Homo-oligomer: A and B are copies of this chain.
């Protein structure tokens, strides 16, 4: 018999899904099962707090991914914010809104995926709230994540870009947006698989972010698209940027598949969302060191432009001509 959340009830479900083992993290004094979790912050540390909500139909469709993948992705999206602050993930709360027909299995799988994503960092789910919904409005997932950085370490804020800085990104841009497009178009091509995987199973650059933090000025994660996100850094740092289109790392396979679905690979790399890569600015002289760090983590880093004094964001082609970019990232509504 399949147990639905309606049969089991909220409290039992939380117990069954989360409280699988008692906490062995010395910093958690009391975990799930009381009014709040009790945690001792590490001595001499700052806490970084971030929150994100995923809504069925808006951020994901069940036909695309399993409950386990969803749990994983709900964590990675938040882990990526911590990565951009150079923080170590520590504690997580998960609030769920669920339709009544949700099965116990789905909820357990969701938490299994979530724990899997947190495991490399020793981070722990310490609190939860589970609500059955009366309407069929689908899954709602709200995650809050708390990480830490040492009190003396540099936290690379968005406001800290300096004129003359190089602008760099990790990994490949546009891949997730291409994958999302393939999913929506139902294109199940062999050569499209890596992009679909990148969309459904993003991997936050947590360890890389921690290694980069001491050497960069501004850093953030690319979730709304390169241009939209870089715009945040430029506004908060009160400066501008010139990007060289030629320097974007576009793989032949990416270009081929994008063209097969009539998408402009460059525009997609500049504006596609949900890459969960890191975007940062750093002093020119640090670039060698940064490359060494990237090599150690086996994640490519590309220099895509420079921070300039004159406001605004210009994208130039190989002949230094201004490129008109069709769209500027996606707004969440």
**Cβ of A52 < 8 Å from any Cβ of B?**
yes
**Cβ of A82 < 8 Å from any Cβ of B?**
yes
- CB pair B331–A53 under 8 Å, yes or no, is no
**Cβ of A95 < 8 Å from any Cβ of B?**
yes
- CB pair B53–A142 under 8 Å, yes or no, is yes
Give the interface segment out of A28-36, A63-71, A252-260, A290-298.
A28-36
Residues 41 to 56 of chain A near chain B (Cβ within 8 Å) = 41, 45-53, 55
Rounded to whole Å, the gap between the CB of A155 and the closest CB of chain B is 6
Rounded to whole Å, the gap between the CB of A19 and the closest CB of chain B is 12
- CB pair B157–A30 under 8 Å, yes or no, is yes
Given contacts A95-B53, A140-B55, A333-B132, contact A38 B46 (CB under 8 A): yes
Cα separation A30 to B221 with both chains bound (whole Å): 17
Residue from A37, A49, A91, A232 with most neighbouring chain B CB atoms (10 Å): A49
Question: Hey, which chain B residues are within 8 Å of A171, CB to CB?
Answer: none
Closest residue to A96 on the B side, CB-wise?
B53
Closest residue to A144 on the B side, CB-wise?
B144
Residue from A40, A57, A91, A333 with most neighbouring chain B CB atoms (10 Å): A333
Question: Hey, which chain B residues are within 8 Å of A127, CB to CB?
Answer: 49-51, 144
Question: Hey, which chain B residues are within 8 Å of A40, CB to CB?
Answer: 46-47, 151
- CB pair A333–B100 under 8 Å, yes or no, is yes
Closest residue to A128 on the B side, CB-wise?
B51
Residue interface mask A134-171, B partner, CB < 8 A = 1 = 11011010101111010100010111000000000000
Give the interface segment out of A5-13, A181-189, A191-199, A265-273.
A5-13
Question: Hey, which chain B residues are within 8 Å of A51, CB to CB?
Answer: 93-95, 127-129, 142, 144
- CB pair B331–A10 under 8 Å, yes or no, is yes
How many chain A residues touch B (Cβ–Cβ < 8 Å)?
A: 74
Residue interface mask A281-302, B partner, CB < 8 A = 1 = 0000000000000000000000
Cα separation A147 to B36 with both chains bound (whole Å): 9
- CB pair A158–B34 under 8 Å, yes or no, is yes
Rounded to whole Å, the gap between the CB of A88 and the closest CB of chain B is 12
Question: Hey, which chain B residues are within 8 Å of A96, CB to CB?
Answer: 53
Question: Hey, which chain B residues are within 8 Å of A48, CB to CB?
Answer: 36-39
Question: Hey, which chain B residues are within 8 Å of A11, CB to CB?
Answer: 232, 331
Cα separation A142 to B29 with both chains bound (whole Å): 24
Other A-B pairs beyond A10-B332, A29-B46, A47-B47, 16, CB < 8 Å: A10-B333, A11-B331, A30-B155, A34-B85, A34-B159, A35-B85, A36-B48, A36-B81, A36-B82, A37-B48, A37-B50, A38-B48, A40-B151, A41-B47, A51-B129, A52-B129
Q: List 28 A-B contacts (CB under 8 A).
A: A6-B333, A34-B159, A35-B85, A35-B220, A35-B221, A36-B48, A36-B50, A36-B87, A36-B147, A38-B47, A38-B155, A40-B46, A40-B151, A41-B45, A41-B47, A49-B91, A49-B93, A49-B127, A51-B93, A51-B129, A52-B95, A53-B140, A55-B97, A57-B133, A137-B138, A142-B142, A142-B144, A146-B146
